[in-house]
Every structure is written in C-alpha cells, then in structure tokens.
Structure 1
Amino acid sequence: MSIRTAVASALLASVLPAWAQMTPVGRWHTIDDETKEVKSEVVITEQDGVLTGRVEKLLRKGADPNRRCTACTDDRKDQPIVGLEIIRGVRQVPGKAVWEGGTILDPESGKTYHVRLTPVEGGAKLEVRGSILFIGRTQTWVRVP
C-alpha cells in the first residue's frame, strides 16, 4: 500500500463516522417539553431515500406500554403506540443536512404536522420541527449512544 493510499484511507476512516452521524437515521430519545425528562425512544430508518420513524419504547415514568393512539384519525387509529409509525415520507433536501417533505404524528393529540429534521451538534442531537402553515414548534431529540 502506498503512502498516498494509506493517508486517503485514514482520512476516509476518520470522516465517515462523523458524516454518518449527520443523518436522522438512528435511535433517539424524545424529551418532554414540560418536564425535560426522556419520554420515548424513536427509531428512524431509511429506505430508498425516504425516512420513517417508529416509537420503539415508552420511557416516561408510569407510561402504559399497551397504550393505543385513540386520538389518531387515520390508519393509525387505535393502534398501539409502541411500534407506531410517527414519521412518514421524509426526504433529504438536496445538498443540505436537512430532511423534510413528510409528516410527524403527535400520538398524544392525534394531530399530524409537516416535519423538518435537522441533525445538530455533530449529529448528537436532532431538531424536530413540526408545523402547520407557518405555526409550529421545535423539539430537540438526543441520539441514543
């Protein structure tokens, strides 16, 4: 192996882990807006350039693991929250570390919002912006190590 090849390999090896983290794909802890405690674990996956996210675990103290989305009004109506797909149809904005164009469901209210996902702090956190028209709010999720 030449020195040039070795240096290129070392650079690539050091850059790839950081780049791989600058994506919403992975496991995330959602944080309660009011108590600031971990609420749930969501797993975001990618298939053919489209992201989806499912509730993997309910982590809030006293949470009912058998709870259903009774407030939902679409195909998720009365489905168990654990395993529920809450993020649908999200794609990366070309040339940017931003994913949008899909929706996110709040299983507590049953409301669906347009969503934008933006990895921050080197991918350690994820800004999750849900909005209707120009009104919305941003939550910060924390990557599960």
Structure 2
Amino acid sequence: MKNFNLFLLYTTLVTVSFPVFANIDISGKWRTIDDKTGFSKGIVEIRKEANNTYSGKIIEVIPRPGYTPKTICDQCTGHLKNKPILGLTILQDMKASAKNPSEYAGGTILDPLSGKLYKSTLRVNPNGTRITMRGYVGVEAIGRSQTWIKDN
C-alpha cells in the first residue's frame, strides 16, 4: 500500500508539473514593430508546421505616416526575387527550445526591405503577448531585435 501511495503521488506530480515545461505557443497573428521608427510595419501569421517547426508569412502590410510601403521584394535573391511582400514567408524552421519554454531558435528570418536572410531566435514573454525577434549574422550578440505584439 505504501508503494502504491508513493506511485500515485509521483504520477500526480509528474502530470501536474508537465504543463509548466511546455513551450509557449507562438502560433497566431503578430504585429511587427520597427525597431528604428517604433511604427508597426505589418502583420505576420505564424503557423506550426507538420515537422514541429514554425514559419511566418506576411498577411498585412501597414503603411507608416509619410511612407509608401514596398510591394515587392526587389532586393531578395533567388526564387524570392521580385515576389510580392504580401504573402511572403519571412520566418522559417524555428524550433522550440528543449531548455527554456519561452525560447525558439534554429530558424531564419528574411528582411523583405533589404532582401537579407538572417539566423534568428525569439523569446516570448510569460503571458504570450510579446515576442522579441532577434536576427543576426554569425554571433547572436551582433544583430538586431524587433518586438512583435500578439494581434487579435
């Protein structure tokens, strides 16, 4: 009986604590904020793919005051050259961290204005309403970060 009670206690603790270690879901629509101007640039929809990675596509471009937004990725290379920015997949292969439930890494992010592709990481705030997206070349310490806000 004592062994059964210990087993029951252990099973309950494992079951109750499991959600604490689950990654914060980043699926949904996110409003991107330009780190230089503070203006919203667009809406990106992030989806979980069948291989458990995440990708993000531009679903809305938001014009800034006094600025006409680009409509094509004229600086992109390869198969993305001159593709419409609206509908462009800019985030690819992002994987949830096994160590930290609020972190994702291993992916790439495309800057459709410059056409440059960067390695990327992202961190989600505890309540899942903000992302800090980091794009970098080489070392993560040398890069740029943007804030993305959950868009309902």
TM over 0.5: yes
TM-score with structure 1 setting the length:
0.80
1:87 has 2:91 as partner: yes
> Of Structure 1 and Structure 2, which has the larger fraction of its residues in strand?
1
Secondary structure, in 3 states, of the residue corresponding to 2:144?
strand
Residues 21/140 of structure 1: CA separation in 2 closer, same or farther (3 Å cut): farther
TM-score normalized by the length of structure 2: 0.76
Structure 1: stretches of 5+ with no match in the other structure: 1-11
Q: Report the more deviating stretch, 72-81 or 103-112.
A: 72-81
1:105 is displaced (CA, Å) by 0.2
Going from structure 1 to structure 2, the CA distance change for 1:20 and 1:83 (only over 3 Å counts) comes to farther
Residue 43 of structure 2 is aligned to residue 38 of structure 1: no
- Runs (4+) off by over 6 Å: none
1:75 maps to 79
Give the 5 Å matches for 1:105-116.
Answer: 105-116=110-121
Deviation at 1:121, TM superposition (A): 4.2
2-structure distance, mates of 1:86, 1:71:
14
TM superposition shift of 1:108: 0.3
Aligned-residue CA RMSD (Å): 2.4
* Amino acid of the structure 2 residue aligned with 1:26: G
Over 3 Å counting, the alpha-carbon distance change for 1:20 and 1:84 in structure 2 is: farther
Whose Rg is larger?
A: 2
Residue segments in structure 2 that go unaligned for 5+ positions in a row: 1-15
1:15-59 Cα offsets, whole Å, 9 max, x none, are x8xx99922211100012222111100000001201000000001
Look up the match of 1:8.
none
Letter in 2 for 1:28: W
Offset, 1:104: 0.2
**Residues 21 and 100 from structure 1, CA distance in 2 versus in 1: closer, same or farther, beyond 3 angstroms?**
closer
Letter in 1 for 2:58: V
Out of 21, 31, 50, the position equivalent to 2:53 is 50
- SS of 2:100's equivalent? coil
